[in-house]
Amino acid sequence: MNQRIGFIGLGIMGKPMARNLLKAGYELTVYSRGRQAVELLMTDGAKGASSPQEVGERSDVVITIVTDTPDVQQVILGINGILKGIPAGGTIIDMSTISPSATQAIAEAASEKSVHFLDAPVSGGEGGAIAGTLSIMVGGEEEVFNSCLPIFQAMGKNIVYVGGAGAGQFTKLCNQVAVAVTNLAMSEALIFAAKAGINLTKMHQAISGGAAGSWQLSNLAPRIFQRDFAPGFMVKLQQKDLRLVLQEADRLHVALPATSLVHSLFNALETTGAGNEGTQALVKVLERLADMEVKA
């Protein structure tokens, strides 16, 4: 517990994850582009920093969870980046969802400075971040993963070492394929039921406990019934992840037709200005096609 932890990125996911590290007793230094988020964590007991470099200077392990690949590259490799400050032998853990290829390049750059690097993207949404029950998929050196396991256990429950550098990111993209396509399947089931005029609540109760059951059906369908499209995970972030999936699929020459369809439907949703809504808003595209609304 004497490890000094740095945390960069205090958004929907990062803020509760950082709080859980504080609750676990870690000494925490935080940085975020929004100063208000830093000040909020400081009231919880964290120390604030003015740059990623300063976070690196004050930390043995630095965690990043920011929006996209360029953000991670800037925070780690930039002029005032973590690698300018973190001492040799330190560890950087990137918990963002970014390009696996870029991740491997960052791991190599860290290694040249004698700094360890783990890619450890997460799944479970804001609720999982708050409850400390995230699924965490980790790539990098297994020895380093084992030494950082207590840190991961402060933020998640299902923690799996999946392989070398970049393996965590590839695994997260597999997760996003399954999540997005299941979201579409759920949305189609709801539209079908609504159009048929059957009781949506009863239908939902009947199929949730069987082979059709899913996290999306249990957690997102009730929100759709109440027309609650507040984000646990934003449409625009889901789209960023699906773009990463399709880029890697193109590089690997693999066909992902269902994923491509969901990506296109989310594109249509974004044109309506719904990019900041939760991914359950996907149902709105199907509602337009069916000229009706899913509402309990």
Cα–chain-centroid distance for residue 227? Answer: 24
Using only C-alpha atoms, what is the Rg of the chain?
A: 20
How far is CA 239 from each of CA 72, 101, 131, 224, rounded to the nearest angstrom?
A: 18, 18, 25, 20
Residues that are catalytic: 172
- CA 4 to the chain's CA centroid: 24
Question: Considering only CA atoms, which of 153, 4, 126 is closest in space to residue 65?
Answer: 126
What DSSP line would sit under 239-251, residue for residue?
HHHHHHHHHHHHH
d(C-alpha 198, C-alpha 190), whole Å: 10
Locus of tokens 């109760």: 205
Residue for token digits 């965690």? 63
